[in-house]
Amino acid sequence: MPTIRDITQPLEAWAPPGSAQDYDNVGLQVGDAGRDIDRALIALDCTPQVLDEALEIGAQLIISHHPLIFRRLSSVTADGFVSNLALRLAESKIALYSIHTNLDATPGGVSFALAEQLGLTGIDLLDGFDESMLKLVTFVPDDTFEDVRSALAEAGAGRIGDYDACAFASDGTGYFQPGDAADPHIGTAGGDLQSVAERRIEAQVERWNLRRVLSALHDAHPYEEVAYDVYPLQGKTLQAGLGAVGTLDHPLAMPDFLARVQSRLDAGSLRWAGDPDATVERVAVCGGAGSDFIRTARGAGADAYVTSDITYHQFFDVLDNDGTPKMAVIDAGHYETEAITEQLLRDYLAERFPDVSFERTRHRTSPMRTFTGAEQSLST
């Protein structure tokens, strides 16, 4: 039976926790990573109803997108929604693992799933993260070059877009004089200056993957002291970013596009701004709170941008200098634009762990409701 750690390892290779936003709190929130599991419940939010459901179906793990413990907890008592739920999880021996802005940031993550749900194809990141790439340079004696090169690649160095193991090697000469206390791979302690045929290897590494790559370098490199340099790189990465952008198979008139968004996301209502007579073909999306990226979506040539948590004044950002809307912005709701995350996680894990049951919660975990006036009753 796999442990919780076994389950979360591939998730973290796909959506590295280090790529989460600084304010975020991702990873195991409650529980013992070494515990065996055969059943997990997946929910956008961990709520008391979700915990009850986990108990009912015998799940040992809840995987949530939104972290329950977000701000610092000074105590774990029955007082307070978060604290009480954390206490109940611990008392019930049900672990909670959260995969939040790291899953937003990864290609194939939340926004890509939303884009697919809306029928987009040719999906790319809306915008790559700035200044998150580093260049690692190291120097290896000829006879162990292949060992070190492959160890770096296996640890994830040299990923550029759809290419893995990208590196450059050049020949040169390394010089060193072992001190009296040294344990040199070549030469002797306190011996003469050595000159060795070495190869310089250089490869790009994501900032959040540096520690893993350096650890692989130290394990594979034969020298007692490994010489390496790490340089920050300017520009954007293709490995992580925000939102997604793609194209509809055929252009839709605005009312038809709005109807598609509403029905595919099961949104009670949409708040939107834009030209009702426009045609939509290129679409940008950002699951959850994406109001800061309206201009980015415009810059990407989108006819429409689907996200949530847009304020009144942010709707003005779609207007051109003369006040005409240049793009539609559609606020379809935070829960509605992210609910697909449950299925995304379920599919990803079920494929890798056929002996573990992964279930989506039957609860709609959003506390928000839409009142349309047509309701027979307000109870759910």
**Does the footprint of Zn ion cover residue 158 (CB under 5 A)?**
no
CB nearer to Zn ion: pick between 243 and 288: 288
**Rounded Cα gap, residues 76 and 82, in angstroms:** 9
**Does the footprint of Zn ion cover residue 288 (CB under 5 A)?**
yes
**Rounded Cα gap, residues 180 and 195, in angstroms:** 18
**Could you tell me which residues come within 8 angstroms of residue 115 by beta carbon, excluding any fewer than 6 positions away?**
123, 244, 245, 246, 283, 285
CB nearer to Zn ion: pick between 16 and 287: 287
Q: Which stretch binds Zn ion (CB under 5 A): 118-126, 227-235, 335-343, 363-371?
A: 335-343
Residue nearest to Zn ion (CB): 288
Q: Which stretch binds Zn ion (CB under 5 A): 121-129, 195-203, 224-232, 281-289?
A: 281-289
CB nearer to Zn ion: pick between 270 and 289: 289
Q: Which stretch binds Zn ion (CB under 5 A): 202-210, 224-232, 285-293, 348-356?
A: 285-293
CB nearer to Zn ion: pick between 202 and 331: 331
Q: How far is CA 358 from the centre of its chain?
A: 20
* Least distance CB 43 / Zn ion (angstroms): 12
**Rounded Cα gap, residues 372 and 380, in angstroms:** 14
Q: Which stretch binds Zn ion (CB under 5 A): 77-85, 111-119, 321-329, 333-341?
A: 333-341
**Rounded Cα gap, residues 189 and 182, in angstroms:** 5
* Least distance CB 294 / Zn ion (angstroms): 17
* Least distance CB 283 / Zn ion (angstroms): 19
CB nearer to Zn ion: pick between 203 and 286: 286
H helical segments located in 27-106: 48-57, 81-91, 101-105
Residues 132-151 touching Zn ion, rule: CB under 5 A, are none
CA distances to 34, 89, 100, 355 from 28, in Å: 11, 12, 12, 21
* Least distance CB 287 / Zn ion (angstroms): 7
Among residues 205, 196, 204, 206, the alpha carbon closest in space to that of 227 is found at 196
Phi, psi of 31 (to 5 degrees): 120, 180
Q: Which stretch binds Zn ion (CB under 5 A): 126-134, 284-292, 353-361, 363-371?
A: 284-292
CB nearer to Zn ion: pick between 127 and 338: 338
- Per the CB < 8 A criterion, the answer to whether 99 and 40 are in contact is no
- Per the CB < 8 A criterion, the answer to whether 355 and 6 are in contact is no
* Least distance CB 100 / Zn ion (angstroms): 7
Joined tokens for residue 323: 């006040």
Q: Which string of DSSP letters, residue by residue, matches 225-261? A: S--EEEEE--SEEEEEEEEEEEEEEEEEEHHHHHHHH
* Least distance CB 266 / Zn ion (angstroms): 16
* Least distance CB 309 / Zn ion (angstroms): 9
Task: For residue 245, list its beta bridge partners.
Answer: 124, 284
Size of the site for Zn ion (CB under 5 A): 2
Q: Which stretch binds Zn ion (CB under 5 A): 22-30, 181-189, 287-295, 311-319?
A: 287-295
Contacts with Zn ion, 230-269, as mask; x by CB under 5 A: ----------------------------------------
CB nearer to Zn ion: pick between 274 and 288: 288
Is 52 in a helix, a strand, or coil? helix
Interface residue list for Zn ion (CB under 5 A): 288, 338
